[in-house]
Amino acid sequence: MATIEDVARVAGVSEATVSRYLNKRPVSEPSRNKVAAAIDQLGYRPSVIARALNNKKVDLVGLIVPTIGNFFYSELYQAINEAASERGFMVMLCDANTVEKERLYIDGLASAHASGIITTTGRCNDLYRTLSRTPVVCVDESLVGVGPFVGSDNVHGGRIAAQHLHDCGCEDVCFMGLTEKSGSQNDRWEGFRQECRSLGMTCREVYVEDDVAPLGPKVRRELASCDGIFAWSDFLALRTYGFLHSIGREVPRDVQLIGFDSTRMGSYFIPKITSIAQDISQVGRCAVEILMDAGRGGELSADRRELIDVCLVQGGTTHPKTATG
């Protein structure tokens, strides 16, 4: 592997000049040509490692997610990657399926002088707080005292869901979530509950252990008896659809079903799941921008909260009474 020293020797200039050329700083015409030729001849590739040791930062941002198996996170990764690469940054996706792995990633990113971390797990709050020189942005799930938050307006999303079910003629609806409640789930439920109340709909709530556990008797009973269901995620909506199908309740004839996220997964399904769509690309872009600002010396206030609006995407699992739903 050729080094900058080799290039300098071949080009007949100093290493400093080669370095300047590499960093697009002014270099005289003749020097420029000689260096370019030398680089070409040697197949020289600058070492980002050595460069990083001087600059004390590398154009890399880490994205920590609980699992890339969930479409929401893979779409978020793509959005962030797009926004970051436009600015010349690489993004390192970190699939932290355990807290222990998350710690390793945080450590690794910090000691690699990453330009920033975007975290979505809502975990390891204390560790993130110890990061003095690595800016952190929370996306989707917030952390206390850790830097700005960017996420969808989940409360509003819950309200929209309630309104839509109301428009579909529902009177007795049910919210379905995970036993382990996250901040965003709570917000969706909160918005939903409030709006149901003001619209005069009866509103219950059921929770399932996780995405794969079988539905318990209580859950099945509730799902079997209401006329509208708001699932906290499209994934849960899919499962609910399967259950309703299995007991002969037809969607949307007998019961209206609405999910959340509107990821590609929900739209592959037949019928397509009616869903509250997050503007994931907007969320990603916003998070990256905040990080870039921080890199230019901007402040990273832990109080800042950016809420991106959501909207309803009509699918085939709900049927509004009026065309102007």
Given the rule CB under 8 A, which residues bind a second copy? 1, 43, 45-50, 52-53, 58, 68-69, 74-75, 77-78, 81, 85, 90, 92-93, 95, 97, 101, 104-105, 107-108, 110-113, 130, 132-133, 235, 238, 241-242, 245, 264-265, 268-270
Residue 238, contacted partner among a second copy, DNA, none, CB below 5-8 A by kind: a second copy
Task: Output the smallest distance, CB 324 to DNA, in A.
Answer: 60
Task: Output the smallest distance, CB 81 to a second copy, in A.
Answer: 6
Residues 14-33 that bind DNA (CB under 7 A): 14-17, 19-20, 22-23, 26-28, 30-31
Say how far apart CA 191 and CA 67 lie, in whole Å. Answer: 26
Residues 128-157 that bind DNA (CB under 7 A): none
The residue assigned the tokens 């690469």 is 85
Task: Output the smallest distance, CB 297 to DNA, in A.
Answer: 15
For residue 228, what are its two tokens?
Answer: 């509208």
Both ends of the chain: CA-CA distance in Å?
Answer: 65
Nearer to a second copy, 85 or 179 (CB): 85
Residue 26, CA distances (Å) to 23, 46, 52, 103, 131 in order: 9, 18, 22, 43, 37
- 121 secondary structure, DSSP code: S
Nearer to DNA, 47 or 301 (CB): 47
The residue assigned the tokens 């040697």 is 42
Task: Output the smallest distance, CB 111 to DNA, in A.
Answer: 8
Task: Output the smallest distance, CB 208 to a second copy, in A.
Answer: 16
Binding mask 36-75 for DNA (x = CB under 7 A): ----------xx--xx-xxxx-------------------
Say how far apart CA 190 and CA 76 lie, in whole Å. Answer: 24
Residue 20, contacted partner among a second copy, DNA, none, CB below 5-8 A by kind: DNA
Q: Which residues of 261-273 are buried (b: 16+ CB within 10 A; e: fewer)?
A: bbbebbeebeebb
- DSSP string across 10-43: HHTS-HHHHHHHHTT----HHHHHHHHHHHHHHT
For residue 129, what are its two tokens?
Answer: 């707080």
Residue 182, CA distances (Å) to 40, 55, 266 in order: 54, 38, 21
Nearer to a second copy, 77 or 175 (CB): 77
Nearer to DNA, 44 or 71 (CB): 44
Residue 220, contacted partner among a second copy, DNA, none, CB below 5-8 A by kind: none
Say how far apart CA 80 and CA 75 lie, in whole Å. Answer: 9
- Footprint on this chain of DNA (rule: CB under 7 A): 1, 3-5, 13-17, 19-20, 22-23, 26-28, 30-31, 46-47, 50-51, 53-56
